Amino acid sequence: MTRKGEVAYVLVGYTNAGKSTLLNALTHSRVEAQNRLFDTLDPSSRRLRFPREREAIITDTVGFIRDLPESLMEAFAATLEELHDADLLLHVVDASSPEMQEQVETVQGVLQRLGLQETPVLLVLNKTDLLGPGEAKRMEKIMGGLAVSAVHPPTLNVLVERIGSAMWSSGPNLRNGSCSRGG
C-alpha cells in the first residue's frame, strides 16, 4: 500500500515474463526470481528513486496465465489489490516467447476483467537479450512498447526515464508516447 501522495506503479504480465527480475534490477533488491509457474504468489513492493529527490513504490505481482479459472482469480484477488492503487501499470512481456502476442492479449483480458482499462499502461518488452540483432527495435515499433533486458542494466535507463516523465509530467494525462490506457 502506498501512503497519501506517493506515486505507485505495478508490474503485471504473464507468468515468467521477468517481472521479479525487473523489480530487482530497478530497485537493487533481492526478491526471489525463478523460472517457474507462480513463483511470485505474494506481492513485493520496493522504492525506486528518481532524480530530483523523487521516488515511487514499485510492486511485483503474481503472473497471469491463459484461461485462469474464476476460482483462482478470486484466490488471487487479495494479491492483485495493488493494481487498483496504481498510477501506472508496467505490462512486462517476454519478448523472446513465441506465444508473446497471445500472452499480451491474456494479460489485457485479465486487466479488463479487473476493471483496470482506465489505468495507464506502459508495455515493457523484456528479455531482449535473447533476441537477434535489430529484433528489439523492430518489436518496439510493431508493439508500441519499450525494449529492455532486466539482466542488462544499461537498457533500463530509458525505462526509468520514461516512467519518471509519465509520472511527473506537467499535465494529468499520462499518455506521453508509449503510455496508453489499459485493456
Q: Which letter does DSSP use for residue 155 in this model?
A: G
pLDDT of residue 175: 36
Predicted TM-score (pTM) above 0.85: no
The structural domains of the chain, with segments of one domain joined by +, span 7-181
8-state DSSP, 78: G
Q: Give me the CATH code for the 7-181 domain, please.
A: 3.40.50.300
pLDDT of residue 124: 97
State the DSSP code for 38: T
**In what helix (H) or strand (E) does residue 56 lie, and over which residues does it extend?**
strand 54-60
- Classify residue 119 by its DSSP letter: S
Q: Which of 56, 63, 77, 52 shows the shortest CA–CA distance to 20?
A: 63
Longest distance between any two alpha carbons in the chain, whole Å: 44
- In order of 83, 92, 136, 183, the CA distances from 2 in angstroms are 12, 21, 33, 24
Tens of pLDDT, residue by residue, the chain (183 residues): 445 556 778 889 898 899 889 988 988 777 665 565 554 445 666 566 766 666 777 677 766 666 666 666 665 666 667 778 888 899 999 999 999 999 999 889 888 888 888 899 999 999 999 999 999 999 999 999 999 999 998 999 999 888 888 776 644 344 333 455 555
How far apart, in whole angstroms, are the C-alpha atoms of residue 29 and residue 27?
5
Taking the C-alpha atoms of residue 168 and residue 56, their distance in angstroms, rounded to an integer, is 11
**Are 122 and 163 contacting, i.e. CB atoms less than 8 angstroms apart?**
yes
Q: Which residues partner with 91 through β-bridges?
A: 12, 123
